[in-house]
Amino acid sequence: MDLIPWKFTEDQFEIETRGSVKKAVILSIAHDNNLRILSFQYPLLSPLYTRYHPLHLLFMSGYDSLSSSGSLKHGERESVSQSLVAAKLLLTEEWMPAILLIYKKKSPRFKAIFPNGLKSFNKGGIDKKIKAFDLLSLNIGTDPALATIKGVIDTTYTALHLARTNQNAAKIYTSGNSVLLETLRFNAMKMQYRNLGYIMDNFCDTVAIMCALVFDLVTLRESPQVIFKGTILRMASRNILSHTFLADDQFAVKIIGTGSYRFWLSPTANSNENTEVEILANIKTVIKLSQFEVTDYANNRFLNLESTSTEAGNFRLQLL
């Protein structure tokens, strides 16, 4: 007898995280943390935390081990890819506009610097894209008007090349570990599915409320927002977003205004309880979440912004 698939008998936690270890990690952090906190208010949840927490710890240990090698697979946004995205943002929004202030787009000199436009940075494999930054530096050459930009490009290329070299060296190590990590992901997501059945049985009348409290349903069901825009008033503070970050996450931000601004990653909106990261107005900056020196990302989910400027500013923030 053929059994027609029914969504309620399919493990959506496992299905939705196939090919995305990072999504599974975010779901696991949220589920484990929520069970730990809510168990005091709802004792029926204690058995769920008792059986899930060991799986969560194993999953996090496997993730950290593989992450430290610099070569996560399964659709993970690898450190090299993140650095390449950040470098391309600097190229299109900082370096190229600065070069255009000196050489017009149709001038022979500009065409010599960018003979193929941006094609070399967007097409081909990752090694070809990284090499494009080296070729850009060679095309600039000894031009004194672009000496400062060339120095930044050289530094960027060196960092990309080193990250790629380390990544290739770690492939043998990660190939075995990635198989283990996939098993740990499957086990953790399967237990979340089993916990869902327990909650449906024991909290039948309030199942929708309890599921929203215990599981990260937004991450499970939706593609997360990655671009945030808004205004920060003078000498004011505000919460920009709430998100479960990981230590190797990054975001790019630029604030049009005057003076300087400070970011905090905190346990509540508009608080500034941890290490601050300061940026200057009108300069695109890439910030690593590790700069906030936070160890508990499950509880520190609010990215808050404070202005020290006497004028209002407009921000654009992109999760990388």
Q: Can you tell me the distance from the alpha carbon of 254 to that of 263, in angstroms, rounded to the nearest whole number?
A: 12
Mean per-residue pLDDT for 278-289?
88
Q: How do residues 128-140 score in pLDDT, each as one tens digit? A: 888 999 999 999 9
Check whether 2 has a pLDDT greater than 70: no
Q: How do residues 54-98 score in pLDDT, each as one tens digit? A: 889 888 888 877 665 544 443 334 567 778 888 888 888 888 999
pTM: 0.49
Higher pLDDT pick, 246 / 69: 246
Percentage of residues in the chain having pLDDT higher than 90: 26
Identify whether the C-beta of residue 233 lies closer than 8 Å to the C-beta of residue 312. yes
Identify whether the C-beta of residue 126 lies closer than 8 Å to the C-beta of residue 88. no
Q: How do residues 154-195 score in pLDDT, each as one tens digit? A: 888 888 887 777 666 555 455 556 778 888 999 999 999 999
Choices 2.60.120, 1.10.3470, 1.10.760, 3.10.620: CATH for 227-319 = 2.60.120
Q: What is the pLDDT of residue 94?
A: 86
What are the structure tokens assigned to 243, written together?
Answer: 């998100």
Q: What is the pLDDT of residue 168?
A: 66
Mean per-residue pLDDT for 297-309?
86
Query: Domains of the chain: which residue ranges?
Result: 10-69+172-221, 79-169, 227-319
Using the structure block, give the residue that is written with the tokens 């990752």: 126
Q: What is the pLDDT of residue 76?
A: 38
Higher pLDDT pick, 9 / 236: 236
What are the structure tokens assigned to 15, written together?
Answer: 């299905």
Classify burial at 81, counting beta carbons within 10 Å of its beta carbon; exposed 0-12, middle 13-18, buried 19 or more: middle
